[in-house]
Structure 1
Amino acid sequence: MHQLPIFLNLSGRAAVLVGEGEAADAKARLIERAGGRIVRAWEPGATIAFVALADEDAARAAAEALRAKGLLVNVVDRPALCDFTTPAIVDRAPVTIAIGTGGASAGLAKAVRQRIEALLPARLGDLAAALFKARDAMKARWPDPASRRRAIDAALAPGAPLDPLAPDAAGQVEDWLAAPETAARPARLETIRLTSADPDDLTLRAARLLGQADHIFHAPGVPPAILARARADAVRHPADAPPPAPPPGLVLWVTL
């Protein structure tokens, strides 16, 4: 990962915008969509800035002056001068998907965004809002965080009641919560044998399992880049062999 992706709350906050023209207008629309307040020069409370100047020397000078004030700066079309870059965005508020290339190719980011746009239903944001509204009910039904996570994962699986790609998933949350409890999912141990240290060589099955696993037992020498493909909250266990008594949920044994 070449950059740290974050989502910044700009609501009501100042964002500096230096420049005029189409590029500046595009950044202005981005700031306004995020609820930010555009200012044309530094003021107390501003934390980020956008510079859209055609002259490179002027752009560099503006960026350095703003950076000296403690701001993170984006300079349009000059990745080397940027503290951060702006991604291509799929907006299904409150669901937001950002596709970045570290400034390498805005066209590629746009092409990927268009593919994702075609996949996701317009009401995906409604599903997120419904799940947020149901948080207390989910905690009451599954007090244990691990059990709750497994229940939600199962409900969001392809073809399941809350499949995110189903157009009516948002309307199914209450019925899902009211449905009788299904049998607890037993421990399931799967093995992934790597063919290389390159995460791009992972099979579709291996990538899917890494994204779903609750626990990952991995042999010495399994590259961090492979383990980085797993969900962030999956528990990692360095080990010399698969577990004789796997913990509940989906458990992976990853070996070279």
Structure 2
Amino acid sequence: MRYFPLFLDLDNRKVVIVGGGEEALRKVRLLLKTKARINVVAPALHEELAAYRNDGRIVWLAKSFAAPLLDDAALVYSADDDLHHDVAVAAGDRGIPVNAVDDAALSTFITPSIVDRDPVVVAIGTEGTSPVLGMGLRSRIEALLPQALGSLAEAASHLRQSVAERVPQGNRRRSFWQRYFFGSIRDSFLAGDARSYTRELEAALIDVTSPSVGRVSLVGAGPGDPELLTLKAQRKLQEADVIVHDRLIGPGILELARRDAIRIPVGKTPFAASPKQSEINAILIREAKAGRHVVRLKGGDPYVFGRGGEEQAALADQGIPVDVVPGITAALGCAASVGLPLTQRGQNRSITLLTGASEDGLAQHDWAALAKPGQAFAIYMGVNAAGDISAELLDAGIDHRTPVTVVENGTLANERVMMCSIGSLWETLALNGVEGPAIIYVGLKPATTSADILTFPAREATGHQVLRAAS
């Protein structure tokens, strides 16, 4: 280890930055998070630095560099390539740590990549060898640490005296703080649930060994690609004690979860025995009442054909705290993946999301309204009902040439895209062995047609009443 990591108190201490351009601006932005007195030495200033000067946040010394300008400084940054040597020598003569931007040989300290959750701060250093690696590690840690973590730590500082008076030292006190920072108390705080936070906190102070009610996070996993998970969704997966997941959640997403988390699959399989919604609700309630943090992981978004509302209501009836993490719903994610505009000037100004299936079979809609010219809609869970759907629309008077785009396994490596007409939809799906998951877009086609898109000529459907019966 060449560089020894430490945290330096800059409260009301002078820091000098030599240079007034982009590099100086980057250092100032970082230092403005502290209470340092920032002096910028440069004949001219970047306009953003000038704004900081006008606001009184920095002091501008509008002159050329001279060694005495470093007197009494705690740190020095040289952000002007032509002055690196002179600044380094002047700082060295005064025993002041100096950083010459992008010149490790002249620097006596380096600035790490920083994750700021004040007062919680994480610094990542690579000793100047791999800045991009440091940035990548920082982005991963950013995803794991909630924005409100600093507020949680600040709240803990106000509790220390009370905890010291009420909770015995040793294992019981450690257990309390473990529960506070990594358990249900923390979850309630981060969710902004003041009522649950107060209840959990008081229960923990009374008896740190008593089990607490857990909580459930309804988390949207997006359309399939793990990189389309939100940062909050990734964090929830890392924190979960139990993950109750749909059938279509890919292994790439589950690999991001905490390795020792219990995984309970509850996905529904067409034409096969599957867990009922009441059974899924019972699992969530059971695990939460055991004091666990449960993640209910759903494809797409929990509130778009994900029955998130039903599960939230069932949990609320049992007094179990619930928070919701939105996901990119499949219709939006798959459309973006294949370059399919869902709204476009001069073509369509709205998009309808509908399901092709219900518990009783084909979902019923206002087919006459959907069949009107200019309508655009995306159908979830429509593969098995495609014959019925096209028949209903054709009966309602839709033009048989209306374009249809089908996206199977959207956003994944095995994604397939097919274009046809509503009149040949059932035939297209059958001939290509489409089994889903797939989104069917009616009245929409990609902005450009690539060689990867299978295109089928528009034709008028014949015997669609028979297709309906066969489906």
Please indicate the TM-score interval, normalised by the length of the shorter structure.
0.5 to 0.7
Q: Which residue of 1 aligns with 2:191?
A: 168
Matched AA of 2:191: D
- Structure 1 residue 163: Cα displacement: 4.5
- Structure 1 residue 63: Cα displacement: 0.7
Instruction: Indicate which of 42, 62, 73 corresponds to 2:70.
Output: 42
- Structure 1 residue 10: Cα displacement: 1.6
Q: Which residue of 2 aligns with 1:209?
A: none
| Paired residues for 1:90-109 under 5 Å | 90-109=115-134
| Paired residues for 1:19-98 under 5 Å | 19-39=19-39, 40=41, 41-44=69-72, 46-55=73-82, 58-98=83-123
- SS of aligned partner of 1:156: helix
Contact 2:120 2:149 in 1 (8 A): yes
Q: Which residue of 1 aligns with 2:202?
A: 178
Matched AA of 1:178: E
Matched AA of 1:8: L
* Regions of 4+ moved over 6 Å: none
- SS of aligned partner of 2:164: helix
- SS of aligned partner of 1:98: strand
| In 2: Cα distance, 1:114 partner to 1:73 partner | 27
After superposing the two structures, state which structure 1 stretch, 172-181 or 102-111, moved more: 172-181
Judged with a 3 Å threshold, the aligned counterparts in structure 2 of structure 1 residues 86 and 107 are, in CA distance, closer, same or farther, namely same
| In 1: Cα distance, 2:156 partner to 2:17 partner | 36
Contact 1:124 1:164 in 2 (8 A): no
Q: Which residue of 2 aligns with 1:12?
A: 12
Matched AA of 1:52: A
| In 2: Cα distance, 1:11 partner to 1:47 partner | 10
- Structure 1 residue 9: Cα displacement: 2.1
Higher relative contact order (CA 8 A, sep 6+): 1
Q: TM-score if structure 1 supplies the norm length? A: 0.62
- Structure 1 residue 138: Cα displacement: 1.1
Q: Which residue of 2 aligns with 1:196?
A: none
| Unpaired stretches in structure 2, ≥5 consecutive residues | 42-68, 211-257, 260-471
Indicate yes or no: 2:154 matched with 1:129: yes
Matched AA of 2:199: D
After superposing the two structures, state which structure 1 stretch, 103-112 or 161-170, moved more: 161-170
| Unpaired stretches in structure 1, ≥5 consecutive residues | 185-203, 206-256
* Bigger radius of gyration among the two: 2
| In 1: Cα distance, 2:10 partner to 2:29 partner | 13
- Structure 1 residue 48: Cα displacement: 1.0
Judged with a 3 Å threshold, the aligned counterparts in structure 2 of structure 1 residues 170 and 84 are, in CA distance, closer, same or farther, namely farther
Judged with a 3 Å threshold, the aligned counterparts in structure 2 of structure 1 residues 170 and 148 are, in CA distance, closer, same or farther, namely farther
| In 2: Cα distance, 1:15 partner to 1:107 partner | 26
Contact 2:126 2:134 in 1 (8 A): yes
Q: Which residue of 2 aligns with 1:144?
A: 169
Contact 2:12 2:37 in 1 (8 A): yes
Q: TM-score if structure 2 supplies the norm length? A: 0.35
| In 2: Cα distance, 1:164 partner to 1:11 partner | 32
Contact 2:104 2:128 in 1 (8 A): yes
After superposing the two structures, state which structure 1 stretch, 128-137 or 89-98, moved more: 89-98
- SS of aligned partner of 1:103: coil
Identical amino acids, percent of aligned pairs: 36
